[in-house]
């Protein structure tokens, strides 16, 4: 709905539309990041590009939609005038810090445990922790019976996802023979000795031992010889960070803890999203510039000059930032209208990520029938979960003072 100069999503149908588009966006950008890493682009370079357009998307959304209404100040007013709303600003910025650390950890987890497992694990932690907190922050706005049925289905899907990963690891181990499927025992050099000289990935069949070896030779982050416990630890850390940012954004826009003084307007969604994205941007830039000179997890060392001159895949990295920025903005717009617990339906994004993993990267190619059966079961449960979370949506009565 357009009121004055500000666009507000107020209907349940509009909120659901926002969440569905957000689901597509948030399930796609990790695939682009993983694609670039597999092609050999340093994750530091990719994330710096991503961070720039991610922040620009937030500015665009705020200026385009954040006008004034009879009940609320505009984005420009809240940004430029002193309104004593710093508690809400700090909540929004804390949420941005959580998202930044989560996204940063995700780009390394993608290399270690794969697109599907990373997204399933982080989504599950976000749903279990974040959705539960949002339900109570929203004063039980959503229908509890439907909402927590969806959460339960999500947990079942997570268990199936773990089984998919276990079965697929066994399939990989069988393909590689003496090379351990979890990459604990064989390093990069030994892999080359076992399978010969480097091969182009385009020349080998997806899912074969030769394909897995060619991928290791091409990618920026070498995973052979490293324990998957490291990757899973990074993935759990990312999920914990993701579970915090939505409740913190909820507090920033709705002031459930009554941190604002009486008469001080609450932050509109667009102002909160700007501060949220600003802190996310600052943390991402600072950490990734430091990672250029002091890389983590044995990534290659780089420099700011090398980053500026690296145009290989830059367009895809910039696109990933835009997609994620608009996805986050649409999630918050839908959550403000229908409840942030229901907006966590976008955490069914592994449905989208798994599709890209299979289509782009050949995940699960030439796997066993057991792996395929578990994969189908996981996707079915994710579908049921997202339907239930969307069905639980209520309609918020929006008040800014």
The string of pLDDT tens digits covering residues 18-49 is 777 888 888 888 889 988 998 899 999 999 99
CA atoms within 13 A on the CB side of 162: 11
In this predicted structure, what is the pLDDT of residue 306? 95
Please state, in angstroms and rounded to a whole number, the distance separating the CA atoms of residues 118 and 196. Answer: 30
In this predicted structure, what is the pLDDT of residue 52? 95
Distance of CA 83 to the CA centre of its chain: 32
Cα–Cα distances in Å, from 213 out to 189, 196, 228? 11, 9, 17
CA atoms within 13 A on the CB side of 165: 20
pLDDT band for position 214 (cuts 50, 70, 90): confident
Please state, in angstroms and rounded to a whole number, the distance separating the CA atoms of residues 37 and 25. Answer: 19
Cα–Cα distances in Å, from 179 out to 73, 364, 366? 62, 18, 17
Q: What is the mean pLDDT of residues 293-319?
A: 92
Cα–Cα distances in Å, from 369 out to 125, 134, 182, 209, 261? 28, 39, 20, 18, 61
Across 52-56, 63-67, 247-251, 396-400, least confident range: 396-400
In this predicted structure, what is the pLDDT of residue 250? 84
* pTM beyond 0.75, yes or no: yes
Across 61-65, 90-94, 95-99, least confident range: 61-65
66: phi then psi, degrees, rounded to nearest 5: -90, 45
- Contacts (Cβ under 8 Å, ≥6 apart) of 166: none
Cα–Cα distances in Å, from 319 out to 25, 47, 280? 11, 11, 17
Is 395's pLDDT higher than 60?
no
Question: Which residue is it, tokens 């929004």?
Answer: 92
In this predicted structure, what is the pLDDT of residue 22? 82
Is 95's pLDDT higher than 90?
yes
Average pLDDT, the chain: 77
In this predicted structure, what is the pLDDT of residue 119? 83
Q: What is the pLDDT of residues 45-86, one digit of tens each?
A: 999 999 999 999 988 888 877 655 556 677 788 787 767 889
Across 18-32, 109-123, 193-207, 233-247, least confident range: 193-207
Is 216's pLDDT higher than 50?
yes
Across 20-29, 131-140, 228-237, least confident range: 131-140
Q: What is the pLDDT of residues 370-390, one digit of tens each?
A: 988 988 888 888 778 877 876
Please state, in angstroms and rounded to a whole number, the distance separating the CA atoms of residues 210 and 214. Answer: 6
Q: What is the mean pLDDT of residues 194-201?
A: 45
In this predicted structure, what is the pLDDT of residue 100? 93
Across 10-24, 99-113, 273-287, least confident range: 10-24
In this predicted structure, what is the pLDDT of residue 269? 80
In this predicted structure, what is the pLDDT of residue 400? 44
In this predicted structure, what is the pLDDT of residue 205? 60
Is 339's pLDDT higher than 90?
no
Q: What is the pLDDT of residues 165-195, one digit of tens each?
A: 678 777 777 776 644 444 444 444 444 444 4
In this predicted structure, what is the pLDDT of residue 265? 81
Please state, in angstroms and rounded to a whole number, the distance separating the CA atoms of residues 292 and 302. Answer: 5
pLDDT band for position 247 (cuts 50, 70, 90): confident
Position with higher pLDDT, 198 vs 234: 234
Q: What is the mean pLDDT of residues 384-401?
A: 64
Is 266's pLDDT higher than 70?
yes
Structure-derived torsion over alpha carbons of residues 368, 369, 371, 377, reported in degrees to the nearest 10: 170
Return the SS3 of 339.
Answer: coil
Question: Which residue is it, tokens 């998202």?
Answer: 99
C-alpha angle with apex 247: 243 to 253, nearest 5 degrees? 150
Q: Quick one: DSSP state of residue 3?
A: E
pLDDT band for position 344 (cuts 50, 70, 90): low
């Amino acid at each position: 709905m357009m009121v004055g100069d500000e666009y507000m999503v107020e209907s349940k149908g509009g909120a659901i539309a926002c969440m569905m588009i957000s689901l597509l966006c948030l399930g796609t950008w990790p695939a682009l990041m993983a694609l670039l890493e597999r092609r050999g682009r340093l994750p530091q370079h990719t994330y710096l590009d991503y961070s720039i357009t991610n922040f620009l998307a937030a500015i665009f959304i705020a200026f385009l939609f954040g006008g004034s209404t009879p009940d609320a100040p505009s984005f420009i007013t809240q940004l430029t005038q002193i309104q004593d709303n710093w508690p809400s600003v700090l909540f929004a910025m804390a949420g941005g810090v959580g998202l930044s650390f989560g996204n940063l950890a995700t780009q390394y987890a993608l290399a270690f445990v794969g697109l599907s497992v990373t997204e399933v694990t982080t989504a599950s932690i976000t749903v279990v922790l974040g959705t539960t907190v949002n339900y109570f922050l929203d004063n039980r706005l959503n229908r509890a019976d439907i909402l927590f049925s969806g959460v339960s289905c999500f947990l079942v899907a997570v268990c199936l996802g773990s089984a998919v990963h276990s079965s697929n690891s066994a399939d990989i181990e069988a393909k590689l023979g003496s090379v351990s499927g979890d990459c604990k025992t064989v390093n990069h050099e030994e892999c080359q000795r076992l399978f010969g000289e480097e091969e182009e990935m385009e020349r080998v069949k997806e899912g074969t031992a030769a394909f897995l070896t060619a991928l290791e030779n091409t990618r920026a982050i070498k995973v052979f010889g490293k324990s998957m416990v490291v990757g899973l630890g990074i993935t759990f850390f990312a999920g914990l960070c993701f579970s915090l940012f939505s409740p913190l954004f909820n507090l920033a826009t709705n002031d459930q803890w009554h941190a604002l003084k009486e008469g001080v307007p609450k932050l509109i969604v667009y102002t909160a999203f700007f501060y949220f994205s600003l802190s996310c941007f600052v943390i991402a830039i600072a950490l990734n510039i430091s990672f250029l000179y002091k890389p983590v997890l044995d990534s290659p060392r780089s420099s700011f000059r090398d980053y500026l001159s690296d145009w290989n895949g830059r367009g895809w990295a910039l696109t990933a930032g835009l997609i994620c920025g608009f996805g986050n903005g649409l999630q918050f717009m839908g959550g403000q209208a229908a409840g942030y617990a229901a907006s966590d339906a976008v955490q069914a994004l592994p449905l989208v990520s798994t599709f890209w993993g299979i289509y782009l990267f050949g995940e699960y190619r030439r796997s066993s029938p057991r792996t395929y059966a578990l994969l189908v079961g996981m996707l079915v449960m994710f579908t049921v979960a997202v339907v239930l979370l969307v069905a639980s949506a209520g309609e918020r009565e929006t008040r800014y003072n």
